[in-house]
Chain A
Amino acid sequence: MPKGEMHRDRRSRNLALAGVLAALAVLFFLVTIVKMAGQG
């Protein structure tokens, strides 16, 4: 497997993981707001 291709695959995997972590951070923030507002 060419090195460029390997790096590209790894990069897309890292970006996907960053996206998932960012989405989780947003979700936990929103849940905290909802819970603090006493709606949950």
Chain B
Amino acid sequence: MSDVCGIETPSRPLHKAEAGPADYFALLKPRVMSLVVFTGLVGMVMAPGSMHPVLALTALLCIAIGAGASGAINMWYDADIDAEMARTRGRPIPQGRIAPGEALGFGATLAVASVAIMGLLINLAAAALLALTIAFYVFVYTIWLKRRTPQNIVIGGAAGAFPPMIGWAAASGEVSLVSIALFLIIFMWTPPHFWALSLYRADDYARVGVPMLPVVAGERETRRQILIYSVLLLPVTLVPLWLGAAGFAYGLVAALLGLLFIAGALRVWRAGATHRPARQLFGFSILYLFLIFATLLAEAGLGLAGMA
């Protein structure tokens, strides 16, 4: 292997022939991973039953590695369009630091390992849900929907919504109405979150032929859809309260944040040519999801849930 290293070939832009650990870490999409681990932890803490801290840590590690693995496989499949878009141009494969096949091998190995460890050390329900999440992200979202339909992120968003269900299953060994409610919150949150981004990145998506909503249906329709989903999101976030899995404090926080989300969506709706409100809504949407789940976590940790 050493004799081929460092040889520049015109077909592959070699800025740096040997990838460092940081390049492999970047393949795991660490920023996405952090939100995934956090929502997984919330599902775990809210679930009935207790978990030994070492096993809880193991389960979270499996969720993180599984999510990272699907990120790496996604970067292998999307390397062609990543190279064309400003947001993704700096990723290790377009930069030539990691070969596409190597990223696929890395991702596939980690995917199998994370599911196997989850199944052997935690339980089969959590392992099955983790496998479903990875398969959904890779096959349904990345390979099937992303380049075909503007509904790509609506359906594909399910992959990002599974982690609290995996955490819940890791702690309790089952799927429940509350864990499905947590799934639904992220599922309804994903479209307005991503469409806000796609409003000010529409040129990028159009150039590489990804049929994001603003590219296919226009900005006006995208703004309308963002508003519709924002309005629907509010009642969905109140479902855990209704199921008795969250308390008064959560209800208050969810209602307040939901109204702020709708206000942000209204500003996007009214905005003319400027994309500033869309950028602000995108930033706020990340904080929003974090605060919703942090409140659920705080209530579950303090034992306040179900005291509405």
| Residues of chain A at the chain B interface (Cβ within 8 Å) | 1, 3, 5-6, 9-10, 12-13, 16, 27, 30-31, 34, 39-40
The one of A3, A9, A13, A39 that contacts B52, using a Cβ cutoff of 8 Å:
A39
A10 proximity list for chain B (CB < 8 A):
18
Complex alpha-carbon distance, A30 and B121, angstroms:
11
| Residues of chain B at the chain A interface (Cβ within 8 Å) | 5-6, 14, 16-21, 24, 52, 54-55, 57-58, 61, 121
Can you list 29 contacts pairing A with B, beta carbon distance less than 8 Å? A1-B5, A1-B6, A1-B16, A1-B17, A1-B18, A3-B6, A5-B18, A6-B5, A6-B6, A6-B18, A9-B16, A9-B18, A9-B19, A10-B18, A12-B20, A13-B18, A13-B19, A13-B24, A27-B58, A27-B61, A31-B58, A31-B121, A34-B52, A34-B54, A34-B55, A39-B52, A40-B52, A40-B54, A40-B55
Give the nearest-CB partner of B57 in chain A: A27
Are A13 and B61 neighbours in the complex by a CB distance under 8 Å?
no
B17 proximity list for chain A (CB < 8 A):
1, 6
User: A2: shortest Cβ distance to chain B, in Å?
Assistant: 8
**Given A3-B6, A6-B6: A31 in contact with B20 (beta carbons within 8 A):** no
User: A7: shortest Cβ distance to chain B, in Å?
Assistant: 8
User: A19: shortest Cβ distance to chain B, in Å?
Assistant: 9
User: B89: shortest Cβ distance to chain A, in Å?
Assistant: 21
A3 proximity list for chain B (CB < 8 A):
6
Complex alpha-carbon distance, A1 and B55, angstroms:
44
B14 proximity list for chain A (CB < 8 A):
1
B20 proximity list for chain A (CB < 8 A):
9, 12-13
